[in-house]
Every structure is written in structure tokens, then in C-alpha cells.
Structure 1
Amino acid sequence: MQFNLADLFEAVADKVPEREALVCGTSRCSYAELDAGANQMAHYLASKGVKAGDHVGLYMYNCNEYLEAMLACFKIRAVPINVNYRYVKDELLYIFDNADMVACIHHREFIPAIAEVRSAAKTLKLCVSVDDDSDFALSDIDAVDYHAVQQSQNKARDFGERSGDDYFILYTGGTTGMPKGVMWPHKNVFFAAMGGGGHFSPLGACEKPEDMASRVTEHPLRGIALAPLMHGASWWYACIQLLAGNALILNHKRSFDGESVWQIVADEKVNAVQIVGDAMAIPLLDALAANPDRWDLTPVFNVGSGGAIFSDAKQEAFKKFFPNVFITNSFGSSEGGQMGMDNGSKKTASGLGNVSRTDYMDVIIDVEGEPRRHAELGETGIFARAGYIPNGYYNDPVKTAKTFIEVDGKTWLLTGDAAKLEDDGSITVFGRGSNCINSGGEKIFPEEVEDALKAHDGIFDALVVGVADERWGSRVSAIIQPRKGIQLSLENIQEHCRKHIAGYKVPREIHLIDELPRAPSGKPDYKTAKAFAESGKGATS
């Protein structure tokens, strides 16, 4: 047995085979059923030539098949690839090409989108379609029906030996705006992002793979993942629950609605609610305020957030509705895993939270032209992690070299978060120091939106910044220098952008300016541009 996610899951499934594992709408399955279904899909993929190290796209909404297919990949040492279902053609072209997918498991609804990009996906040989309410023809992309081919396979668990070095790749935003595949060895992601199996056990993290079964508690919890599984925070949360022998409840709704969520929580007697920052907190709180005493939510004892800003005000609001509930606010990244948690014990008023400085958590000073070094007390630098970290970015050696660096003979991951080494030796983490916009947990990079804007015939130049938004944390604001004599409207700009980028990246406001601010070097002056947007100058509806 290895620190491989398939090995670890199988140990849990053998320990509690009849325990409920997954619930998504009307679909329910036990650990034994989930394991058997994953075995069948693994056999099918293998029969079609999918082998160790091959990449398999998961292009689905939340569903039990998503996690079943993930486990199927792990069982044959293949690598599941998360595909954001909000992507439009240009973004899909990029990820289908960059990720070198040999197969794609997808909801039937996405057949037209796959048809548009399939010719450019040089390695894609197999499409497996999960049925939904749509009626697109499987023949359009030579797809096969998921359950039909699955049922033709045996349920035996007769796979070869696996490794803790097998990959778990998580695609996330990159500095160019296009996604980057973070290459996590199973063992590393298990300890860095999944607590090493010790989240729910008094025994703590596993010391050896065989410890996994002993970390399954007698009384399982019921936790709901509200974000789409295509996002790392939700994907990892799902793995944490399954490796603990808990019941994982998925939000089966295609859009986020507070009342619907609380109905699921009440119906399923959920104990732990996992959200992504204020973007989810606000509609949930609004639904509670508008429907006093509508739901029996007494089983809830934890509301936790990760992946986006969960403001103090919203945390306090939850405490008013749930005075005895444990509120947690985790921070980390797709590259760093879970790096800390604020549970009300922050040492400073500012920042996301505090962590202890260790041999594997530190602040690195990375100044161009100077040797990289560890920070001294009182210095501010970049939050960094060593030890259980990824091996780099798939197909991107340049970004890998910039992010994974050597200091004093040890490899460190630079998270991109600004951090300060306090006088007492603790680390205060402040968040992203780049121009990345985090809107409701979605990473949006200005360069990508700017490229879309500049494709508009009436735009001479444009800069994109994030401005504060009560619900989403930040919203996309575009500062536009129009061509002479051209009249631009927000509606026109949004309609144009939706042809090039996903809806959540489209500017929510535009500000017209005679000349964009730039530094003497010619580089964009984002600081001045953001101040212009925040002032409301040039705002156009």
C-alpha cells in the first residue's frame, strides 16, 4: 500500500463498505458502490488504451460520476484533469491542447463545445458522455454513453501496484490568464491539502499508508461541498470527506441559490457547510434572514470557507444565526495546498491569518538582482512553502522556474501571497500581491480580459483592475481608451467580451479615459488605473 489516493480510498471503502459515501440530488451511493463503479470505469478506460500517466479530462457539473471517474483514473494511475465548464471556445482550445488529454468524460450538454475544439486537441481519442437533460447526438464527437460502457465491465479490483508519486493535476489560473496545471504527487497533495487523513481523527495525520483505515471515525459526519468540483477547494474538500469515511453531499443545482442550498442542508441533515467566501455567504445569509425558522438546521456545527475572502462581517452574521457553530476560514492556494486557518485567533487585525514559522513555512525575500533569502524579523516578503509541494506546472518550465526556487539548498514554492515575519517569529499572510482579481473564488487575470477588450474595433487600449465588491470580494473594472469618434457602452463591451472569455471574467463596469496611465518604462500603471476606477471617473453605462 502506498500514499496513493486510490490505495487510501480503497482502504476506507473496505472499512465501511455499507456507509453512505455520496449524495447528489436523487443520486446516492455507498462506499462499496462507489468503489465498484470506479473499478468498472477504470477497466473501460484501460480497455481503450488509457494507461499510467495519461490525462483524462473531467468536464462536468457536480455529479457522483465526477468523483467516480476521478477514482477510476487514480486506480489505473491515469491523471484526471479538471475542466472549467464556464470556459468558451478560446479557453477550451487552450486547455484541451495544453493538458494533452487522451480522453474526456463530460456531460452531454458540452458536446457542441467539444465539437468546436476537438480537431485542435491532438491527443484526444475518447469521449465518454454522462447523460443529462440535453439531447445532443453522441455521434457528433463519436462519444459513448458513460453508464452503458461502464456496465459492460467487471467490478473486480485487479489493478497493478501504484505509487505515491502518481500525479494529481489541478488546473488553475496563470499569470498569462490561461490556466496552468499544478502537478501534485499524490503523497504531497494528501499531506499538504488534505490534512494527511487527520482532519477528523484524534490520532492525527497518518504516519504510514496503512494508518488510513484507523482514521475513519465511528460516527461519520455529513459535509456539503457547495462549489463546483471543477475548483480545487471543492475537489480537495470532497477527497477529505471520502478519505475520512464521511458522507459527501454535493450541490446539484446549476446555479447558486441560497434557499435551495438550505433546503438541501436541512433534508440531508448536514453537519458541515463548505463555502467559497462572501460570494456564497451573502445569498446564504439573505435566505436565512428572509425565511426565519423555515428550516431545521440544528445538525449544522461548522461553516467553513476557503478559496476567497470570507469577511469578518459575514462571519459575524453567521454567528448570529448559528451562535454555537464553529466558523473556519482557510487560506492557501492551488500550488500551496492548505497553508493556514483563521478560526478567530488572528494575532493581527490585518491579513488573512497567522501561521507559525517552521522548516517548511517561511517568508522569502525575492528581489530582482539580489540573492533570494529567508526574511528576518519584521520584514515583508513572499509566503513560501517547502516539503510537501507540487513538482511544478505542466508544460510550463518558465513559470515553474519562477515559482519553485532554491534557497539554502532547499526547494521552496513562492505562493505569490505577501507575508510578514512578525517580531515573535509568526507569519502574517496578507494575500496576493499581484494584479490577480479574485471574484467569488474565481481567479481572473487582467491580461486575458485586456486581450479580449483590445479585440474590439472601437477600443484603442485598455487596462483591467479589481475594485471592491460587497458580495464577490472584487469585481472586474475596465479602464478604456476608446478610438477617436467612437461611442462605447457597457452593454456593447460585455456582449463583445462574452465571445472571447467566460462570463465571470467580463467587466462589470467600464471607465472611459483620454489616455491610459503608464510608467516611464511604458508598462501599465495599474495603481493609477485602479484609483481612477475607484473614484468613479469616466464611468459609462
Structure 2
Amino acid sequence: MNDNNNPYQENLDKQRANFTALSPMTFIDRAAKVYPDRTAVVHGDTRRNWAQTYQRCQQMASALNKYGIGKGHTVSLIAPNIPEHFELHFAVPMCGAVLNSINTRLDSQTFAFILQHAEAKVLFVDREFSEMVAKALDMIPNNYLVIDIDDLYWQGGELIGSINYEAFLATGELSYHWQPPQDEWDAITLNYTSGTTGDPKGVVYHHRGAYLNAISNAMSWGMHQHPIYLWTLPMFHCNGWCFPWTVALMAGVNVCLRHVRADTIFDLIKQEKVGYFCGAPIVLNMLKLADDSVKSGIEHKVNVMTAGAPPPAAVIQGMESLGFKVTHVYGLTETYGPSVVCAWHDDWSELPLEKQAQLKSRQGVRAPMLDGLMVADPVTLKPVPQDGLTMGEIFMQGNLVMKGYLKNPTTTNKAFEGGWFHSGDLAVWHADGYIEIKDRSKDIIISGGENISSIEIEDVLYRHPSIQEAAVVAMEHVKWGETPCAFVTLKLGQSATAREIINFCRDHMPRFKAPTRVVFAELPKTSTGKIKKFELRDMANNDD
């Protein structure tokens, strides 16, 4: 049919009155105008409402604009979860620029690479990281404007910039009228992957995706209006899984947290009546193992969202037994953080707690704003049977997928081959449509031609009463090609031998899947709590 004869195409064009580019900047505008007096930020004794927070964002956007920052420019940031970090999630896009929040635990050389690759024009840096950043700046030619964040509640470090945050803020206009992006496809943030096998890749987010994932977060979690959210998850990690924008959407409270420590987390939950926080399974395990004296006294409902690594069922069960409600999500830096959720069914609540934990440990189904999700053959892209046994790669499609990798068209095209984003994660697809990760493609153990999931072995290890943390990697073997090697950390005051642990695994799973070697060690981790399996593989295969 010819569209020229379609009455719905005649005089019904997009125009200013009926179409606006989607951007999460509108969330803070609404929060400030509808709930101006409600608390927006808590940091130590500092409390600001939404009107004050919005005004600071506008004024900072003005200051950046006066300095010459606008569309196509990158503003980098190295800071913990403090109010300035939250504000810059709005102020930088308000002036049309792109926010690059950098992992605070990287080394100076990686800082230097990112600043150069991102072509940063301005760098905000908190005093805690001044030494490492100063070394990075010495490595590269630069004419950055370096702005110090001089946090009232942090002692130490030095001021290495030419101006501090508050002084630079004062150069902006209070009445600055920011403009939304003309195109919702415009970049809003730049996030670098961990770069464990080479230089980090710059993942570019757009306004539309950030807007939709912020809404998707609230829907997936069933967040009520005005949630009190504790910042246990780093804001630099996928822009805090897009939660700066989600909290603004819901006009909630941002409870800031510089360092992730069990006693501080429990204290703030009780003191501020925190109802929501996010964290990797390693953080949940830390809280589960905390002393009972710091856990007691929580008399309200606390919701926990976990992702970053497949959570062992035992960890989920431990958190649920404390009275915390756990929601398991899954995603990657390339998908704005959470894009898959283990959506709960009411009848599952009637099952025993152990069975509930097993169901919750699955990654789940597509989040509300993700368009496509499948487990398929990585070569043919043919979906695998939904039998819970056949392994394939996870693929995503839609608005919650990145624009691409900055200045890296070859890798971008490879990631989007066939019209789907290739995650690199291996999973099975259950009959009810829920996916369950079995391994990263690089972490699968192939022993005597059989695929062994390291995650399956780890899940058994976490059931051992003496084990605090566990990770399993492939170890070279003359006969079988590879066999599982387990690295474990024991709970304080507990003991176990390698033979006891191997026998425990053999009692709870097929013998050929059990580890053939157990190493007792502290597990190396990334800043977001993921275990560095590449280091463990090196240890397993190069240990004389």
C-alpha cells in the first residue's frame, strides 16, 4: 500500500508540541519542581533537597558552558559515591557534553590511557585519588582543566587542580536554562570496560537508553515513590547501573557512601531507613558474614539488587534469611548495566527458601525496556532449545544496548554481528523462558571433551560450611586437556583440607566435574567485586 494514501501520515508530523527527545535530565527537573523540599542527598551531616540539588546541577552546567564545554566534549571524573558525583551525572549532559566517570581503582597508566582516548577537556578529581591522578597526568601531554573535589568528610590527599569544585561552581549562573538534546541518540556518558585482556574499550551510552533503563530499573524492582537508596554500588560502574537517574525519576534520597564496609552499611540502613541498595554477590557475602552485633536492629524492609557475577544460591539464601529481599539482575557495561531480571512469580514464594534461592540465582528474562533476549548458537544465531541443558551464547537487542565502542568500529561491528549484541556469556534456556548463565565463553572448562561450568562448581563450594569465597578456573591437564582448579578463602576460625573440599564436591555433583586441585588464597577482585579469573588461571597454570 502506498503511504501517500495513508490518512495517518497526513498533517500529523512530529513537532515541538508533541515530540521531545528522551533524556533523563527531565527527571531531575520534575523532581525539583514537584518535590522541591524533599531530601535528595545525604552525605554525613550534609543534606540537600531536590530544589537545591537541581540548582547546583544547573549552575555547574553553566560553569562548564562558560568554560567552553559543549556537544562532543568529554568531561572526566574520578571520585567515590559523593554528592558531586551524583550532580555531575546531570550537570555535564545539561551543557551538552559527555560524562566519563572513571573506575577509581585503576592504575595511573590506565587513567592516562582513558583520559587520552576519551579526549577529555575537563577532569574532576577527589582528593583521595590525587596521587594516582597526578602520576597519570605526568605521563601524557595535556591541557586539562583539573578541578579538585575537596570533600569535607575526607582527610588526606592533596589538591592538584587549578580550582576547586565549589569555586568553579560559583562561576556559573543560577538561572542557567539548559536545553535537552536535539536528538535522543546523542551520547550522554562514556564508560570504559575493565580491559583485562588489553586496553579498555570506551562504551558509549545515549540519552534514550539512559532514560529507558532508569525507568526499567524502577519497574523491575517495584520501587515505590521517594525510595531511600544507599550508594553501595560505584557510580562509575555503568553510571551506577543508571540509578542516579532512577533515583531522580522517583524523587528519592541518595545516601552517599565513600567506602563499602559492612558496619557502615548496616549503620546507615538503620539510621537513614534505607530501603534499597545494589551490590555484587561478593558484597552480599560480606554482609551475610558480618558479625551478628552489626546486623541486629533492622526493623524495616530492605530490597537488594545484585548482579556483576552469577550469585551462588547459598549467598542469596543467606541474605533472605536476614530479612532482605533479593532481586537478581544481569547485564553488561554494553547494556547500561541491568537489562535482564529474574522476575518473581507469586507462587514461587510458597516454595522452601532453598528452592526460592535456586530460582533467584537464575539470570531471568528481559527487563521491561529490553526488546530482545535469546540464547543461541554464536555462529548461526539459531536459538538453542529451551531445555535447560543446551548451552549457547546470550544475545540482546534493543534500546538498552550501547551506541558502540568509541573510535573502535571493527570491535563495534563484531559485537553487533547479525543484528544482535554478542554478550560472550554462555547460558542455558529453561522451559519457562528464564536464562541461566553457566560461564563466560573464556571461562568454560573443557575436560575430556565435556563442558564443565565453573559456576556450577562454585555454587557447590559455597554450600561448604567453612568456605567464605570460592572461584574455579581451568587448569591444564596432560590427559584430560583441562580440569577444574578451585581457589577458596576460608571463614575466620574455620578449617578444611583440600581433600575434604574435593570429597564434598564429589558428594554433591558428578565426580568428573569436581575440582582436582584446591588452592587456599585471598581472591583478587576488580573494583566492582568481580573475581579476576584471568589472574587465577595464571596462578593455576604457572604454579611450580
With the length of structure 2 as denominator, give the TM-score of the two structures.
Answer: 0.71
Question: Compared with structure 1, are the counterparts of its residues 356 and 85 closer, same or farther at alpha carbon in structure 2 (3 Å cutoff)?
Answer: closer
CA contact (8 A) 2:25 2:90 kept: yes
Aligned to 1:172: 193
Question: Compared with structure 1, are the counterparts of its residues 272 and 470 closer, same or farther at alpha carbon in structure 2 (3 Å cutoff)?
Answer: farther
* Offset, 1:150: 0.8
Matches within 5 A, 1:204-353: 219-232=225-238, 234-252=240-258, 254=259, 256-277=260-281, 279-291=282-294, 293=296, 295=297, 297-322=298-323, 325-336=324-335, 337-342=337-342, 352-353=362-363
1:386 aligns with 2:397: yes
CA distance in 1, matches of 2:398, 2:178: 30
SS at 2:364's partner residue?
strand
CA distance in 2, matches of 1:414, 1:264: 39
Structure 1 residues 39-76: Cα deviation after superposition (integer angstroms, max 9, x where no partner)? 11111111111111211111011210011122110101
Matches within 5 A, 1:23-34: 23-34=42-53
SS at 1:86's partner residue?
coil
CA contact (8 A) 2:41 2:254 kept: yes
CA distance in 1, matches of 2:241, 2:90: 12
* Offset, 1:285: 2.2
Q: Which of 105, 111, 114 is matched with 1:86 structurally?
A: 105
Structure 1 residues 96-144: Cα deviation after superposition (integer angstroms, max 9, x where no partner)? 1122111111113433333322255556521111114457664x5x521
CA distance in 1, matches of 2:263, 2:257: 12
CA distance in 1, matches of 2:175, 2:487: 53
* Offset, 1:374: 4.2
Supply the AA of the counterpart residue of 1:165. Answer: W
CA contact (8 A) 1:56 1:101 kept: yes
CA distance in 2, matches of 1:105, 1:19: 28
Structure 1 residues 10-35: Cα deviation after superposition (integer angstroms, max 9, x where no partner)? 12322211111111222221111111
CA contact (8 A) 2:131 2:158 kept: no
Q: Which of 122, 136, 146 is matched with 1:103 structurally?
A: 122
Structure 1 stretches lacking a partner, 5+ long: 203-216, 447-464, 473-489, 512-525
With the length of structure 1 as denominator, give the TM-score of the two structures.
Answer: 0.71
Structure 2 stretches lacking a partner, 5+ long: 1-19, 349-355, 445-453, 459-470, 474-483, 492-518
SS at 1:353's partner residue?
coil
1:40 aligns with 2:41: no
* Offset, 1:263: 0.8
SS at 2:290's partner residue?
helix
Aligned to 1:354: 364
Superposed CA RMSD:
4.0
CA distance in 2, matches of 1:356, 1:76: 33
1:365 aligns with 2:377: yes
CA contact (8 A) 1:419 1:431 kept: yes
CA distance in 1, matches of 2:66, 2:333: 32
Identical aligned residues as a percent: 20
* Offset, 1:173: 1.9
CA distance in 1, matches of 2:533, 2:440: 21
Aligned to 2:505: none
CA contact (8 A) 2:310 2:437 kept: no
* Offset, 1:170: 1.9
Count the aligned residue pairs: 442
Aligned to 1:190: 211
Structure 1 residues 252-309: Cα deviation after superposition (integer angstroms, max 9, x where no partner)? 3x3x3211211111111111232221x212332233524463x3x1123312212233
Question: Compared with structure 1, are the counterparts of its residues 100 and 19 closer, same or farther at alpha carbon in structure 2 (3 Å cutoff)?
Answer: same
Structure 1 residues 346-387: Cα deviation after superposition (integer angstroms, max 9, x where no partner)? 8987973332699611223223xxx54444555532111111
CA distance in 1, matches of 2:122, 2:274: 35
CA distance in 2, matches of 1:347, 1:300: 18
Supply the AA of the counterpart residue of 1:241. Answer: V
Supply the AA of the counterpart residue of 1:151. Answer: A
Matches within 5 A, 1:62-81: 62-81=81-100
Question: Compared with structure 1, are the counterparts of its residues 471 and 77 closer, same or farther at alpha carbon in structure 2 (3 Å cutoff)?
Answer: farther
CA contact (8 A) 2:185 2:207 kept: yes
SS at 2:167's partner residue?
helix
Supply the AA of the counterpart residue of 2:425. Answer: D
Aligned to 2:479: none
